[in-house]
Structure 1
Amino acid sequence: MFQELVHTKAFQSYLEKVDFPPVPQYLYDPIRYILSLSGKRIRPLLVLMGAELFDESIIEQALPASAAIEFFHNFSLIHDDIMDVAPLRRGKPTVHQKWNGNVAILSGDALLIKAYQELAKCPTDKIPALLRLFNATSLEVCEGQQYDMDFEGRASVTESEYIDMIRLKTSVLLGCALQMGAIIAGADDRSQKLLYDFGVNLGIAFQLQDDILDVYGNPKSFGKQVGGDILSNKKTILFVKLQELISLADQKELTYLLGQTIDVEPGKVDKMMDLYAKYDIQTLAIYQKEKFTTIAYEKLSAIQIPSDKKQALFSLADALMYRVR
C-alpha cells in the first residue's frame, strides 16, 4: 500500500504540471473540472505498477503514459455521460449538465488529443508499440459502449454477450494500462500478455462485483444508491442470470416490474430482490466474479519474476475485489 501511495503522489504531481491553458475558458475549464472529480486513479496507477514490476528505475518514464490513460478514461466518461443523459458523476454535475452538450463534446475531444500528446512524450523506441496497443484498446472501448447502448433496446442478453460487453467497455483499459507500463519497462512479449490478461480478467471480476454491490451493497461504503441498476432496468449479470432461469409464471412478474417506474411501483427494488432470492441469483453472480478473479490471479502468478515483486498488484487486486459490502 505504501508503494501505491508513492505512485499516486508521483502521478498527481505530474498531472499538476500538465498545461491546460486558461483560454478558451469553455474548452479547458471542463477538462480541469472532470479531472478534479477523479477518484483513486486506478488506471494511471496500473501503468506505473506495470512498469515497476519489471524495472523499478523507470517509473518517471512511465508517467506520460499514465497521464494518457487517465485522459482517455475521462474523455470516455464525458461522452458516455452525454449518451446516458447522466446528471451526476461522482456526486457532482456532469460536464454537459454544468455547461452544455456542445461544450462537453468538444472538451472531451480535446482531452483525447491531450492523451496522444502525452504518448508522444514516452521513450521514442517504445512509442510504436504503445500506439498500437492504445489505438486498439480505444476502439474496443467504443465497441463496448455501442454494445451497451444496443442492449438497452433488447429484451434479453446472453451471459456471454454481457461478459464480452464489459470486457470491451471497462476491462481492456485496465489490461492496456498494465501492458503499457510493461512495454516501457522492456518486458518480454509473454510477460506483457500475461499482465494484460491479468488486468482484463480483474476488470471483468470488478464489474461483476459492482453489479452485485449495486443490489446487495452497503450504500455508505459502496458510494452509490443501492438498487440503481434495478430502477433503470440495467442488464447486469444478476438480470442476465435471472432471465436464464426464470419460470413462465415469474416472467409475468418480471415483465410487469420492468414496465414500472418507482413512482408507480414503489416496491420495485424489493420485488426484484425477491425474484433474485427465489433463484439464488446472488450466489450465481458471486461464482462468476470469483471465476474471473481466479483467472486473473493465475495470470499474474504465471509471470516469471520473483513473487515479492508481484505482491503490490495482488494487494491492489484484493482491495478492489473484496470491498466492504
Structure 2
Amino acid sequence: MGVIEQYIQHAGEAMLRRYQPREPRLLYDPIDYVIGLGGKRLRPALCMSACHFFSGDGKAAEAAAMGLEMFHNFTLLHDDIMDHATMRRNQPTVHLKWNENAAILSGDAMMILASQMMLDVPDTVLKTVQTIYLQTALEVCEGQQYDMDFETRDDVTVDEYLSMIRLKTAVLIAASLKIGAMIGGASSRDADLIYQFGINIGLAFQLQDDYLDVYGDPETFGKRIGGDIVSNKKTFLLLACQKLANSEQKEKLKYWLHAADFDRQEKIDAVVALYDQLGIAVLSKEKMETYYMEALRIIEMLGIELQYKDALKLFASHTLFRTK
C-alpha cells in the first residue's frame, strides 16, 4: 500500500477521533450522517501525504487534514440544497432525510468545526496555514457563485467554465497539498509547486466527474447518471457540444435545454446522442490528458524522494482513470 493510500485509510479513523458529536442532537445528527457516508477522503489524505513527503510523518498535519475534510463535506451539504440533489454517495441527501433548515444549520456548524480544527497546527506555520485556508474557502464560494450564475446564462465559454471549476474544485485539492507541505517543512518553492500540481489534478478530477455523470456506471459513481443533463448544468461536455454543433444539432440541443415538460431518460438519451455525434467524450478525455501531463511535469520539479514522486504519479493516474 502506497503513502497516499495509507493516509486515505487513516483519514476515516482520524475524523471519527477528531470529531466528537454533542448536543443538541438535531444539529449534530446530520453531521454524524454526512461523516458516516465516507467518501474518497482525498483532501485529508493529500494533506497528510504532502506533510509526509517533506517530513517523513504525515500525522503532524492530521488536524489540518480533518479541518479540510470537514470543510469539503460542508460544501457538499450546501451544494446539494442549491442543486436540489436527492442522492449523495448512494444515500439520501441531508435536506431530504431531515429538511433544508436542518441542512443549512448543520452545514454552518461544520464550517465552524472545520475552522476550529485548522487552528491545531504548529505555531510556526499557523498564520500561513490560516491564510491559505481562508483564501481557499472564499475562492470555493466564488466558484459556487459562478456555477450558479452560469445557470441563467446561454453564453458561457469553455474558458469561463474551466476558471469556475478551478475555484470550486481545484483550489481545495491544491490547498490541501500546500498546507500539508508547509506543515512538513517544505520550502516556499516546493509548496508552490505542489499547489500547482494540485490545481492541474483538481481540474482533471472535475472534468472526469462531469464525464462520469454522463458516461459512468451509477453503481460505482454513487449518483444517478445524467443529472447534469437533466438540470442543464454547464459542463465541459455541454459547452463543447454547443460550440461544435451545426445548426440542426444546435436546434435539437436548444429544444432539450428549454423543454419544461420531458421524460428524464428521453432527454438524457437525446443529449448523449448529440455528444456522441460530435465526439465530445474524446474531447473531454483529451482536455483531462492536458492537465494530467502538466501535473506529471511539475512532479519532476519537486524536491522530494523518488518514491514520493512515484506516489504522486500513481495518484494522478488514478484521478484520470477513476470510475467513481
Aligned residue number for residue 101 of structure 1: 100
Q: Where do 1:263-302 residues align within 5 Å?
A: 263-264=262-263, 266-302=265-301
2:141 is the counterpart of 1:152: no
Structure 1 residues 12 and 279, CA, compared in 2 at 3 Å: closer, same or farther?
closer
Q: Where do 1:182-197 residues align within 5 Å?
A: 182-197=181-196
The answer (yes or no) to whether the contact 2:21–2:32 under 8 Å persists in 1 is no
Aligned residue number for residue 233 of structure 2: 234
The answer (yes or no) to whether the contact 2:119–2:130 under 8 Å persists in 1 is no
State the 1:261 CA deviation.
Answer: 6.0
Aligned residue number for residue 111 of structure 1: 110
Secondary structure of the equivalent of 2:318? helix
Comparing 154-163 with 265-274, greater Cα deviation is found at 265-274
1:68-92, CA deviations, whole angstroms, 9 ceiling, x for partnerless residues?
1011101111111121222221121
1:195-248, CA deviations, whole angstroms, 9 ceiling, x for partnerless residues?
001111101011111222222233334333332222221111111111112222
State the 1:109 CA deviation.
Answer: 1.3
Structure 2 length normalisation: TM-score? 0.94
Structure 1 residues 103 and 213, CA, compared in 2 at 3 Å: closer, same or farther?
closer
Aligned residue number for residue 14 of structure 1: 14
**Partner AA of 1:115 in structure 2:** A
State the 1:309 CA deviation.
Answer: 2.1
Structure 1 residues 316 and 16, CA, compared in 2 at 3 Å: closer, same or farther?
same
**Partner AA of 1:25 in structure 2:** R
Count of matched residue pairs = 324
1:38-95, CA deviations, whole angstroms, 9 ceiling, x for partnerless residues?
21211100001111111113x2211001011011101111111121222221121222
State the 1:296 CA deviation.
Answer: 1.4
Secondary structure of the equivalent of 2:54? coil
**Cα distance in structure 2, aligned partners of 1:108 and 1:101:** 10
State the 1:271 CA deviation.
Answer: 2.1
Secondary structure of the equivalent of 1:235? coil
The answer (yes or no) to whether the contact 2:158–2:236 under 8 Å persists in 1 is yes
Structure 1 residues 71 and 223, CA, compared in 2 at 3 Å: closer, same or farther?
closer
**Cα distance in structure 2, aligned partners of 1:161 and 1:230:** 19
The answer (yes or no) to whether the contact 1:79–1:105 under 8 Å persists in 2 is yes
**Partner AA of 2:193 in structure 1:** L
2:223 is the counterpart of 1:224: yes
**Cα distance in structure 1, aligned partners of 2:221 and 2:112:** 33
Structure 1 residues 10 and 265, CA, compared in 2 at 3 Å: closer, same or farther?
closer
Aligned residue number for residue 178 of structure 1: 177
1:112-162, CA deviations, whole angstroms, 9 ceiling, x for partnerless residues?
111121122111111100001001100000000000111111113101100
2:29 is the counterpart of 1:29: yes
Structure 1 length normalisation: TM-score? 0.94
State the 1:6 CA deviation.
Answer: 2.9
- 5+ residue gaps, structure 2: none
Structure 1 residues 193 and 20, CA, compared in 2 at 3 Å: closer, same or farther?
same
Aligned residue number for residue 56 of structure 1: 56
The answer (yes or no) to whether the contact 2:48–2:60 under 8 Å persists in 1 is no
**Cα distance in structure 1, aligned partners of 2:221 and 2:25:** 34
**Cα distance in structure 2, aligned partners of 1:166 and 1:22:** 35
**Cα distance in structure 1, aligned partners of 2:95 and 2:264:** 30
Secondary structure of the equivalent of 1:69? helix
The answer (yes or no) to whether the contact 1:156–1:243 under 8 Å persists in 2 is no
Structure 1 residues 34 and 233, CA, compared in 2 at 3 Å: closer, same or farther?
same
Structure 1 residues 273 and 38, CA, compared in 2 at 3 Å: closer, same or farther?
same
Secondary structure of the equivalent of 1:124? coil
- 5+ residue gaps, structure 1: none
State the 1:19 CA deviation.
Answer: 4.5
**Partner AA of 1:51 in structure 2:** C
The answer (yes or no) to whether the contact 1:49–1:313 under 8 Å persists in 2 is no
**Cα distance in structure 1, aligned partners of 2:247 and 2:295:** 37
Structure 1 residues 302 and 275, CA, compared in 2 at 3 Å: closer, same or farther?
same
Structure 1 residues 242 and 143, CA, compared in 2 at 3 Å: closer, same or farther?
same
The answer (yes or no) to whether the contact 1:14–1:63 under 8 Å persists in 2 is yes
State the 1:264 CA deviation.
Answer: 4.3
The answer (yes or no) to whether the contact 1:262–1:268 under 8 Å persists in 2 is no
**Cα distance in structure 2, aligned partners of 1:85 and 1:225:** 13
State the 1:277 CA deviation.
Answer: 2.4
Root mean square deviation, CA, Å = 1.8
**Partner AA of 1:17 in structure 2:** R
1:240-296, CA deviations, whole angstroms, 9 ceiling, x for partnerless residues?
111112222222111112223684475322222222222222222111111111111
Comparing 258-267 with 305-314, greater Cα deviation is found at 258-267
